[in-house]
Amino acid sequence: MNRRELLYASGAAALTRARLGAFQVGRPAPATDRKIRLGIVGGGFGSQFSFHEHPNCEVTAVTDLRPDRRSRLQQAYRCETAYESLETMLRQERRLDAVAVFSGAHDHVRHVEACMKQGLHVYCAVPACQSLEEAARLKSVVEKSGLTYMMGETSYYRPGCIYARHLYETGAIGEIFYSEVNYYHDRGDLKQLVEDKKSRFYEPDGSRSWRWGLAPLYYPTHCLGFIVGVTKERIRSVSALGWGTKHPYLTENRYRNPFWNESALMATDKGHMVRCNVFWLVAEDGERANWYGDKGSLYMSNSGHHGDLAAERLKGARPVNYPDYLQDPMVPKAMRHASGHGGSHVFLSAEFINALLEKRAPAVDVYKALAMTAPGLVGHQSALKGGERLPVPSFDR
């Protein structure tokens, strides 16, 4: 920077700090001796969370179809009781208050329903569902049960998203009229993708897993978490395009999906624009967003939490030094450590347990979960139709 640019950046920083003031990431962890007894389903991604470190949570039982993953769960959560399947756990384990579901995406709604039929609250990994019919079913199951449902969208608690939410709620960024949201997750070497039967794209018996050929926009929540999680807007219409090549991943999949990458232009219920990219074949990686407001903008870097920039109209840009959000009172002291997906895992774990203790709706309830998921499902249909603009149904209360 030259001196003029440095002065502009310093002025923008000072003004933004003055507008922000104190900010809480979430509601403080309640002071209570009550314990939430939790079951964990799925020993892959499900072994990476911190529920057991919450002073008011005990992981009572774990389950996975694979013995190696059951053992991984037992070690991660220091849990002695393991079951061979979710069905067996629900039938035999009588000590549970809630279940955290980390099964494959195509099983999410079915497993949430099975747990809620047993009177159990549910935390579920993303995405919420895999069709609009499942979206309606999930909404109905949760509403009829009266139980708590939370979707574990990691973008919601990335530092950039927390900061953007703060800028928006305090008015510092103004009206966010356009956002760019990206989820880039490259599938790697295309020959190895076919030959490596031990990868995440295959089951132990050599059959292809649910991840094989998944349409990019069937997994939109890491993008739309940056919209619903900041402005609370809903996507009302979408036009999308896709790109693919000749490869077994695209020509031989259960989804009849021909696309490696999909890009969508979405319109919100407030008349704002969102450009949403989900790419599986790209020399890039990460989950990030850029928010453009009439007063300021915020740009997340490739990693999503290093080198991010904030800009104020006529005042220039500056690097963002995020507050130490881990010190927020919503996170119990034992959970204040580094975790996956930009540090979001401990926040998600804490929020679910805190919500159950307070008997309140969690940050990402079923309505936000479906608002983060359904637009992608419609977007894929648009891409199959060459970009035809399609309406997105509402699944709000």
- Residue 5 has a pLDDT of 34
SS (H, E, C) 221-259: HHHHHHHHCCCCCCEEEEEEEEECCCCHHHHCCCCCCCC
CATH superfamily of 155-324+366-391: Dihydrodipicolinate Reductase; domain 2 (3.30.360.10)
Let me know if 286 is exposed, middle or buried by CB neighbors in 10 A (0-12, 13-18, 19+). Answer: middle
- The predicted pLDDT at position 109 comes to 98
pTM of this structure: 0.93
DSSP codes of every residue in 345-375: HHHHHHHHHHHHHHTS--SS-HHHHHHHHHH
What pLDDT does 308 receive? Answer: 83
Quote the pLDDT of residue 11: 41
Q: DSSP letter string over 148-168?
A: -EEE--GGGGSHHHHHHHHHH
* Residue 299 confidence (pLDDT): 95
Whole-number Å distance between alpha carbons of 294 and 170: 14
Q: What angle do CA 149, 140, 353 make, to 5 degrees?
A: 10
Backbone region of residue 243 per phi and psi (left: phi > 0; alpha: psi in -120 to 50; beta: other values): beta
| β-strand pairing of 316-319 with 285-293 | unpaired
Q: What is the pLDDT of residue 306?
A: 57
CA 246-251-257 angle, to 5 degrees, is 110
Grouped pLDDT means (10 residues each) for the chain, 397 residues = 37 46 85 96 93 97 95 96 97 96 97 98 98 98 98 97 95 97 96 94 94 98 98 98 98 97 98 98 94 96 70 85 93 95 96 98 98 98 98 97
Question: Residue 281 and residue 302: Cα distance in Å, rounded?
Answer: 16
Q: What is the spatial distance between Cα 365 and Cα 373, in angstroms, rounded to a whole number? A: 12
Q: Note the pLDDT of residue 20.
A: 52
In whole angstroms, give the CA distance from residue 245 to residue 260.
8
Question: How many residues would you count in the chain?
Answer: 397
